[in-house]
Copies of this chain bind each other. A is one copy, B any other.
Amino acid sequence: MTYCVGLWLRDGLVMLADTRTNAGVDNISTFSKMYTATAPGERMLCLMAAGNLAITQAVWNHLGEGVMLEDGRHTLFSVPTMFRAAQLVGAAIRAVYATDGPTLKAQGVGFDVSIMLGGQIAGGPVRLYLVYAAGNFIEATPDTPFLQIGEHKYGKPILDRALRHESSLEDGVKLTLVSMDSTLRSNLTVGMPLDLLVYEAGTQLIRTQRRITEEEPYFRELRESWSEALREAYRSMPGPDWA
């Protein structure tokens, strides 16, 4: 499995991915699930992928070599808008499906892939998409300013409770790391290290891109202080008068 979360905030984007891949529980590896395509000052696109690793790597290669849209062959560096970029990712997924789908189906393997795409192209707004295995997609809105792929349930409650579109990028970093930590603690198929990207709206530049390892002091401190804060929080709440 995988856990990736993307935040679509007023001030920009926060994107966080784990790096564990597994085939069963006795064959686990580390692969980055985050890809970027940037032309500083002109465009900043970040992708995160969940699902079958052969499929997600093939999609990434198709995107690199160019995929046909109605007006010709495009890459993430040539599409004029984020909407067209999301269409391009969808087209790349469908290209892989056309090649691999029938054989996978014949062998009883699902065509399992989902890709998150966030970014900004100069002149347009910041957008965050989730592209499905059929190549169709949805977009984050102010009502639901975060998207998740993979093992999303453990880390959802904290985002449902605390995250707003107006949250700062710094709060977004803390909340995605807490959401990821909740998932790491409860599910073996999501694992360290983590890939984090922070993007500030209007810059078309990556503000922060960081590989967070087990040894990262900030992450260790966050894990401990969050657990302590939760314990303090429930201790300080009054008990029911009927229990």
Contact = CB atoms under 8 A, between A and B. Distances in A.
Given A157-B154, A186-B160, A237 B210 contact: no
Interface string A200-243: 00000001101000000010011001110111111111111111
Interface stretch (A102-110, A118-126, A172-180): A172-180
A231 to B, nearest CB: 5
Contact of A185 (B160, B208, B239): B160
Contacts of A208: 242-243
A225 B243 contact: no
A234 B185 contact: no
A69 interface: no
Interface string A150-171: 0001111110111000000111
A182 interface: yes
Interface residues of A, number: 46
State the copy count for this chain: 2
A236 B226 CA distance: 10
Nearest to A175: B234
Contact of A174 (B156, B239, B241): B239
A239 B233 CA distance: 20
B174 A157 contact: no
A218 B234 contact: no
A153 B242 contact: no
Interface of A: 153-158, 160-162, 169-171, 173-175, 178, 182-183, 185-187, 198, 207-208, 210, 218, 221-222, 225-227, 229-243
